[in-house]
Structure 1
Amino acid sequence: MSLLFFIKGLLVGLSISAPVGPMGLLCIRRTLAFGRLSGILTGLGVATADGTFSTLAAFGVAVISQVLTEHGLLFRLFGAMVLCLLGARIFFSKIQAGTPETVLPAERRIRMYLTALLLALSNPLGILFFTAVFAGSGLADTNGSLPSAVLLVAGVASGSLLWWVLLSTVVSLLGRKLSPRTLSWINRASGLLIALFGALMLVR
């Protein structure tokens, strides 16, 4: 049944998003600083990247996949530098407690989405990961069915977005109970860890 591909994709999307990495830290920090919607927009950017990578893997778009893998070093350097700069900016910024939802201009919201999208896309391992997962689990075998492939990709993107919505919601609820001092420490730790992820990408 084609719907089974959506369910499998949903589980893949949830499983790849759950581990806390630089994007998870960025989502948490933005949620604490600006509210739940900012965290969701960050997650939407990551989910879009996951959907893009899973599309390339599911449909076997070899040319684009080859470009991403052959120029992996450039993409990784770009992502690493952005993470380092972003981490430093977060570390030295201030965060206020008790802000349920900060009203930001539309341009700022769009920028949050785009920065998350570009950061997620700058990791060329994404396409390799999805290709390996799909091939290893038999998910790539959609029997030439376009609806099955589309449902698989939609499931991955939906599962990824579902995780980010849940994470942003939980962090938003917990953030209202945290003291300014605790939020300050979380903010600095997030910035430091994000920059550290970037530094590790540079030396890897």
Structure 2
Amino acid sequence: MSSAAAKPILYSYFRSSCSWRVRIALALKGISYDLVPVNLLKDGGQQFSAEFKAVNPMQQVPALKIDGITLSQSLAIIHYLEDICPNPRLLPQDPKKRAQVRMIADHIVSGIQPLQNLSVLKQIGEKKMEWAQNCIASGFQALEQILQHTAGRYCVEDEVSMADLCLVPQVSNAERYKVDMSPYPTITRINKALLELEAFKVSHPSRQPDTPAELRA
């Protein structure tokens, strides 16, 4: 079997929201893959190993080996999957809706998630819970307003898009950091609708090969 036709390999951590985005995309597009768990906490963080640094010099998950190349950064990976496997599409055809999807995805992947990432929280120290809550809450206040203009059943009208793949893992982070979700009814409603979809269920952190027994669904 040539390397080009080999099964994709996803380097993932069950609790990583960035990895979850990619797992959802792979599930939606029906692409089967082998999973290599990278435990971000064990052994001082397996992402810092020389072996993994060779896979992704940024020492972050996810990374995807596919079609003879290695990709890191969740949105770059999802864009590639969209290019090679356009159905079901994760970017609307209409340019305005497409821009809205990208805007919402960017709000989450650039404006919220990195600020409450594990590496940042390590630097913050004792106040990390409060820090994470504040970062997520200020991001969600903006996102709630945006979604009130763009949402149908999902983030942008009624089709699942790249924006939704970013939203669900971020809400999961918010719940983990005990953010009060009551001010964000639109976010909450969309999240609930998405979690009913099979691709979001199978990719869930509670159902991964590396999920600890006590956190399994």
> When you count helix as a share of all residues, which structure comes out higher?
1
Higher Cα radius of gyration: 1
Q: TM-score, normalised by structure 2?
A: 0.27
> When you count strand as a share of all residues, which structure comes out higher?
2
